[in-house]
Homo-oligomer: A and B are copies of this chain.
Amino acid sequence: MKKRVTLKQIAKELEVSVSTVSKALKNSEEISRDTKDKIQAFAKLYNYRPNNIALSLKNKNTKNIGVIIPDIVHHFFTTVFRGIEQYAGQKGYNVMICVSDESFEKEVLNMELLANGSVDGFILSLSAETQERNDYNHIKEVLDQGIPVVLFDRVSKDVLCDKVVLNDQEIAYEAVTSMIRSGKTKIALVTTENYFNVSSDRAQGFEKAIRDANLAFDESLILTLPYQSEDDELIRNFFERNTIDAVLCVNEIFAIKCMDVVQRQGKRVPEDISFIGFTNGILSKYSAPRLSTVAQHGERMGETAAKLLIDRIENDVDDNFRTEVISGTLIQRDSTTN
Contact = CB atoms under 8 A, between A and B. Distances in A.
A35 to B, nearest CB: 25
Given A1-B146, A75-B73, A82-B73, A51 B116 contact: yes
A8 to B, nearest CB: 14
Interface in A97-156: 97-99, 112-118, 144-146
When all copies of this chain in the complex are counted, the total is: 2
Interface in A246-266: 253, 256-257, 260
A1 B146 CA distance: 6
A57 interface: yes
Interface in A312-333: none
A81 interface: yes
A16 interface: no
Interface in A209-268: 253, 256-257, 260
Contacts of A1: 144-146
A138 to B, nearest CB: 12
A3 interface: yes
A72 B76 CA distance: 11
A102 B330 CA distance: 30
A147 to B, nearest CB: 9
B57 A53 contact: yes
A45 interface: no
Given A51-B116, A57-B57, A95-B96, 5 more contacts: A3-B145, A53-B56, A54-B57, A78-B78, A97-B97
Contact of A4 (B73, B78, B145): B145
B3 A117 contact: no
